[in-house]
């Protein structure tokens, strides 16, 4: 595990234009001073000693004595985090709804044994590693299976004809990537959740402090180690703003409470998961005029265009009672609202619905491995083993829901149903859009479903 802070510097054009560049804490201090006088930016910047930027922070504004966390909101910090488990990466995204960033993708990167976490760092033993190596073997076999299907029936990739027939090398690179993605997307369900991934996040110092509080208050060793590593990097860039980046009893309580609820669910008798699992609750404001919803989409020509007030004011809660962790990792990164995902497995998805008619399905032992892994995950939880999530694979299914507003929901649905979008989360969002259309049928012709460009 390695955490590295990356600073920003002025562009050449900005420097030539004489624009100022400030350290993150100087930026926050300058913004904070705005709230206490109207002297203007040039007057504030004149107080900076170029030879002692750190001391200049307190010369402008004594942030350490200022109680509002809004000061830390004005302090942008970027971190590159190498080598955390997919499980911990998922937790970080769920805890950081305002973050921008990226993560290593199973759609573009072939994972292998070298990417498996050190069991000691997770608080596990070599038995876990042996089991996960077996799962990686299943992933390799599944990948070969889907690559062969792609070779036999290339039309299944749904690559646009214009791309296939284009002589342009850029287009052909895109075709090769989409063919590779076809197999990666369907084989990835056998990848261990304990594989290492890399995460880059950009957010305010306030958000970093909140993340550290949650990490340092967690019971498992991997989150605590990451929290300590982030604090070390924050000391380089925002030393005045991280005094609260410590263990917090409230977060320890919350972590224990969420675990207790998930454990209780794991100990309960299992119930079959139904096939129709999408749900949607819409809370529209009172007093909307007839036709307000389609009117709110009248200027919406691309998914980045304007959504009207009727959609912005409408609260939406949508989700599924069973969705694979592979898709949860993607859907969880949408930055608006709140997500809820109790860590109690309810099944395993093997991509068997993607097998073409007349073709032999995945080898039985692979399917059995996936379900056996899920059952063990659930039993470990019922027994109170906090390390249970690390035993899961990406095909393990959980309940998942997202609470946001209708404009953000429709943006997500438009983005995730385009050509080249991962087939499974496209399927899930088509399901929820169908429920939306049942409520607002007049909007169906205006929602840009499936219009996203190839990935």
Identify the CATH number of the domain in which residue 311 sits. Answer: 3.30.1360.170
Q: Do residues 324 and 304 both lie within one domain?
A: yes
Same domain membership, residue 56 and residue 121: no
- Report the pLDDT value the prediction gives residue 54, as an integer from 0 to 100: 74
Q: What is the dihedral of CA 74, 78, 83, 88, to 10 degrees?
A: 20
119 lies in some domain:
yes
Domain presence at residue 451: no
How much is the pLDDT for 69? 65
The pairing of strands 347-348 and 315-324 is unpaired
| Pairing mode of beta strands 338-340, 347-348 | unpaired
**Pick from 398, 401, 405, 399: nearest CA to 309:** 405
In whole angstroms, what is the distance from residue 54 CA to residue 312 CA?
42
DSSP single-letter state for residue 162: H
pLDDT at 453 (0 to 100): 60
C-alpha of 255 from chain center: 19
> Average model confidence (pLDDT) for the chain?
89
Query: Domain check: are 209 and 160 in the same one?
Result: no
Listed residue (124, 126, 191) closest to 387, CA to CA? 124
**DSSP class per residue in 65-107:** G---THHHHT-EEEEEEEEEEHHHHHHHHHH-TT-EEEE--TT
Q: Are residues 216 and 181 in the same domain?
A: no
My answer on whether 200 and 186 are in the same domain is no
Q: Would 314 be classed as within a structural domain? A: yes
Question: What digits encode the pLDDT tens for the residues 323-351?
Answer: 999 999 988 888 889 999 999 999 999 99
Does residue 332 share a domain with residue 209?
A: no
CA distance 38 to 35: 8
In total, the chain counts a number of residues equal to 455
Give the whole-angstrom CA distance, residue 107 versus residue 188.
8
Q: Last residue of some domain: 190, 208, 232?
A: 190
User: CA-CA distance, 446 to 448, in Å (whole number)?
Assistant: 6
Q: How many CA atoms lie within 13 A of 432 on its CB side?
A: 29
Cα 90 to Cα 235: distance, rounded to the nearest angstrom: 25
Question: Does residue 376 share a domain with residue 425?
Answer: yes
Which of residues 190, 210, 239 is at a domain's end? 190
Distance CA 337, CA 316 (A): 10
The sign of the torsion formed by the CA atoms of 326, 106, 228, 339 equals negative
Looking at the structure, do residues 279 and 399 belong to the same domain, yes or no?
yes
Instruction: Name the token pair of 62.
Output: 């004594």
Please indicate, yes or no, if residue 218 is contained in any of the structural domains: yes
If asked whether residues 284 and 310 sit together in one domain, one would say: yes
The SS3 call for residue 240 is helix
Residues 320 and 416 grouped into a single domain: yes
88 inside domain: no
Residue 66: φ, ψ to 5°: -100, 120
CA-to-CA separations, 236 to 6, 23, 345, in angstroms, rounded: 10, 11, 40
Has residue 89 been placed in a domain? Answer: no
Is 325 within 8 Å of 319 (Cβ atoms)? no
Nearest alpha-carbon partner for 345 in 276, 394, 406, 413? 394
Same domain? 36 vs 163: no
How confident is the prediction along the chain (455 residues), in pLDDT tens digits per residue?
999 999 888 889 988 999 888 888 887 788 777 777 777 888 878 887 777 777 777 666 665 444 556 777 778 899 999 999 999 999 999 999 889 999 988 776 778 899 999 999 999 999 999 999 999 999 999 999 999 998 888 888 877 788 878 899 988 888 888 788 889 999 999 999 999 999 999 999 899 999 999 999 999 999 999 999 999 999 998 887 788 899 999 999 999 999 999 999 998 877 656 555 899 999 999 989 889 999 999 999 988 899 999 999 999 999 999 999 999 998 888 888 999 999 999 999 999 999 999 899 999 999 999 999 999 999 999 999 999 999 999 999 999 999 999 999 999 999 888 776 788 989 999 999 999 999 999 999 999 998 766 45
30's tokens: 């300058």
DSSP line for 168-195: -HHHHHHHHHHHHHHHHHHHGGGSBTTB
Domain termination residue (choose one: 190, 217, 238): 190
Residues 388 and 240 in one domain: no
The domain tally of the chain equals 3
Q: What pLDDT shows up at residue 20?
A: 84
- Within-domain flag for 87: no
Residue 275 Cα distances to 196, 212, 223, 356, angstroms: 32, 39, 35, 19
pLDDT recorded at residue 64 = 46
Q: Can you list the pairs that 28-31 forms with residues at least 24 positions away whose Cβ atoms lie under 8 Å?
A: 28/63, 28/71, 28/72, 28/74, 28/75, 28/205, 28/241, 29/56, 29/57, 29/58, 29/60, 29/61, 29/63, 29/71, 30/60, 30/61, 31/71, 31/74
Determine how many CB atoms are found less than 10 A away from the CB of residue 345: 29
Q: Which domain holds residue 140?
A: 108-190
pLDDT at 420: 65
By C-alpha distance, which of 270, 253, 259, 234 is closest to 345?
270
* CA angle, residues 23, 29, 30, in degrees to nearest 5: 90
Kindly report the backbone phi and psi dihedral angles of residue 116, in degrees, each rounded to the nearest multiple of 5, phi listed first: -75, 135
Query: Is residue 273 in some structural domain?
Result: yes
Cα(94)–Cα(63) distance, integer angstroms: 29
Count CB-CB contacts under 10 A for residue 283: 12
What are the residue ranges of helices labelled H in 343-447?
364-382, 406-415, 423-439
């Amino acid at each position: 595990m390695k955490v590295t802070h990356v600073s920003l510097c002025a562009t050449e054009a900005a420097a030539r234009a004489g624009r100022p560049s400030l350290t993150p804490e100087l930026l926050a201090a300058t913004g904070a001073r705005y709230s206490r006088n109207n002297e203007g930016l040039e007057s504030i910047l004149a107080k900076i000693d170029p030879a002692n930027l750190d001391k200049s922070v307190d010369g402008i504004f004594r942030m350490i004595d200022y109680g509002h966390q809004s000061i830390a909101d004005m302090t942008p910090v970027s971190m590159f985090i190498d080598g955390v488990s997919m499980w911990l990466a998922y937790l970080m995204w769920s805890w950081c709804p305002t973050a921008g960033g990226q993560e290593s993708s199973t759609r573009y990167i072939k994972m292998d044994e070298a990417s498996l976490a050190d069991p000691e760092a997770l608080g596990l033993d070599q038995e876990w590693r042996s089991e996960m190596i077996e799962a990686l073997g299943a992933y390799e076999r599944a990948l070969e299976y889907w690559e062969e299907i792609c070779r036999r029936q290339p039309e299944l990739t749904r690559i646009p004809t214009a791309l296939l027939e284009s002589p342009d090398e850029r287009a052909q690179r895109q075709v090769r990537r989409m063919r590779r993605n076809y197999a990666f997307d369907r084989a990835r369900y056998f990848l261990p959740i304990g594989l290492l991934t890399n995460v880059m996040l950009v957010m305010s110092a306030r958000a970093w402090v909140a993340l550290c509080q949650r990490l340092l208050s967690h019971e498992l060793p991997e989150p605590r180690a990451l929290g300590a590593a982030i604090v070390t990097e924050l000391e380089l860039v925002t030393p005045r703003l991280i005094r609260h980046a410590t263990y917090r009893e409230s977060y320890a309580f919350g972590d224990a409470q969420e675990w207790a609820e998930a454990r209780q669910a794991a100990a309960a008798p299992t119930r079959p998961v139904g096939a129709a699992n999408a749900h949607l609750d819409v809370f529209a404001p009172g007093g909307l005029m007839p036709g307000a919803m389609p009117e709110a989409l009248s200027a919406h020509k691309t998914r980045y265009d304007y959504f009207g007030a009727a959609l912005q004011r409408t609260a939406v809660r949508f989700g599924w009672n069973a969705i694979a962790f592979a898709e949860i990792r993607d859907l969880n990164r949408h930055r608006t609202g709140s997500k809820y995902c109790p860590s109690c497995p309810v099944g395993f998805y093997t991509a068997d619905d993607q097998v073409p008619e007349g073709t032999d399905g995945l080898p039985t032992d692979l399917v059995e491995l996936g379900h056996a892994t899920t059952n063990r995950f659930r039993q470990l939880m019922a027994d109170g083993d906090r390390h249970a999530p690390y035993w899961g694979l990406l095909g393990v299914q959980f309940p998942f829901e997202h609470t946001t507003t209708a404009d953000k929901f429709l943006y997500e649905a438009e983005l995730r149903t385009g050509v080249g979008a991962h087939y499974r989360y496209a399927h899930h969002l088509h399901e929820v859009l169908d429920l939306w259309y049942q409520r607002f049928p007049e909007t169906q012709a205006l929602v840009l479903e499936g219009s996203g460009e190839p990935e």
